[in-house]
Amino acid sequence: MKSRSPAMSSASISTRVLRFATAGIAAAGLLAAAASARAEQDPESARAPGRVGAASIQLRDSRVPQAQARVMAAEVDGLLARLLATPALADPHGFAISRQVILVPPRTGMPDWHPSAAEAMLLVRSIAIHGGSQADASGAWSGVGEGPTLQITVNDLGALFVWPEEGEDDRPKFFEMTNAPDERDGFPVLHFRSRDHVVIARPGRRPYRHVSQQEVLEREIGDYRKIVDELGDNAAPRLRETLRGIEAELAALSPAERAEPACQDGSRRNGVLTACTKVGAHFVVAVDPDYFDPARPRTAIQLVTISAPSEGAQGHPTLSPVLRDALRQVDLRAIQALLG
């Protein structure tokens, strides 16, 4: 079954009803603003060979010695090189390609041994021979204006979710993930922020954990009880009724059911949870730092996501399809073999 559902945040009562129809609008608007000009590329520019720039590298994880960081940056740039070697990008004409690699510390809340994360990008821009492009000594032309990107994240568990920092306290954040993701060569493809995200994890491992039904219901009960206690006699009868309903939902579960993965569908018509087999249901999941092997060096690549503009999303009419082709053509199994 195909699903266009995003991976999305679900942590608190106040944030559960958020929707993501507008995700990526700001970025898409920037691309759309110049789309007509780019679509009218003259034939000479469309035939011109494009320049492929050397990687711009930034090292921002102060925990890692510079020499080791440079080695990791080169390995991440090697992932970009695999995309550049695909038929879609190997011989660029009509567009130029620049690339960037940034090594960053792990997200807040991750243990100190957590590996370095990385963000990498291929930026593709149209050539305009009579509109600002410049040729280098080899005759390859630079691009101009805005352009779509292929993006890679390394060792970043938050890259699987729309708002990874969502939450109002120090408790583990709960997220939702579709129960029927699209797949490419056996790898899950998540859809959010107008992009398709291919998740490449270590063989036999999952870069998140399922949250149990008991965990979800106990958190819900705690959140509602806190509100009721704070309001005291001013708590609305409907609020107290909701709390009693969630308490009854938990009490009705057997010990085995309490340990099963939790799923939600957003409607809450028949309680907090829904059957995980239901069409449109989402697993409740949490970031699992235990996915990473702490015995390996901080610079070891253990998780990769690659994203391209989604088909049908606003963006460059001719270059966005090129990037989608490159993502379809890259050997995902070969990248997984690098993860150990």
Q: Give me the tens of pLDDT residue by residue for the chain, a chain 340 residues long.
A: 333 333 433 333 223 222 222 333 334 443 443 444 445 899 999 999 999 999 999 999 999 999 999 999 999 999 999 999 999 999 999 999 999 999 999 887 777 888 999 999 999 999 999 999 999 999 999 999 999 999 999 999 989 988 776 556 778 889 999 999 999 999 999 999 999 999 999 999 999 999 999 999 999 999 999 999 999 999 899 999 999 999 999 999 999 999 999 999 987 878 899 999 999 899 999 988 889 999 999 999 999 999 999 998 878 999 999 999 999 999 999 999 999 7
Instruction: Sheet containing 149-154: give its strands across.
Output: 52-59, 95-104, 117-126, 149-154, 303-309, 195-201, 187-192, 182-184
Pairing label, strands 263-264, 174-178? unpaired
Pairing label, strands 95-104, 52-59? parallel
pLDDT at residue 277, rounded to an integer = 94
Query: Alpha helix (H) ranges present in 34-179?
Result: 35-39, 43-47, 66-84
CB atoms within 10 A of CB 235: 15
pLDDT at residue 219, rounded to an integer = 96
The pTM is what? Answer: 0.83
**H-helix or E-strand spanning residue 324:** helix 319-329
pLDDT at residue 165, rounded to an integer = 62
Q: What angle do CA 182, 185, 191 make, to 5 degrees?
A: 25
Report the distance separating Cα 215 and Cα 209, nearest Å. 12
Burial of 175 (0-12, 13-18, 19+ CB in 10 A): buried
CB atoms within 10 A of CB 147: 23
Contact of 250 with 217, CB cutoff 8 Å: yes
Contact of 95 with 319, CB cutoff 8 Å: yes
Report the distance separating Cα 7 and Cα 9, nearest Å. 7
* Residue 59 identity (one-letter amino acid): L
pLDDT at residue 21, rounded to an integer = 27
**Half-sphere CA count of 321, side-chain side, radius 13 A:** 3
* Residue 43 identity (one-letter amino acid): P
Report the distance separating Cα 319 and Cα 322, nearest Å. 5
Contact of 281 with 275, CB cutoff 8 Å: yes
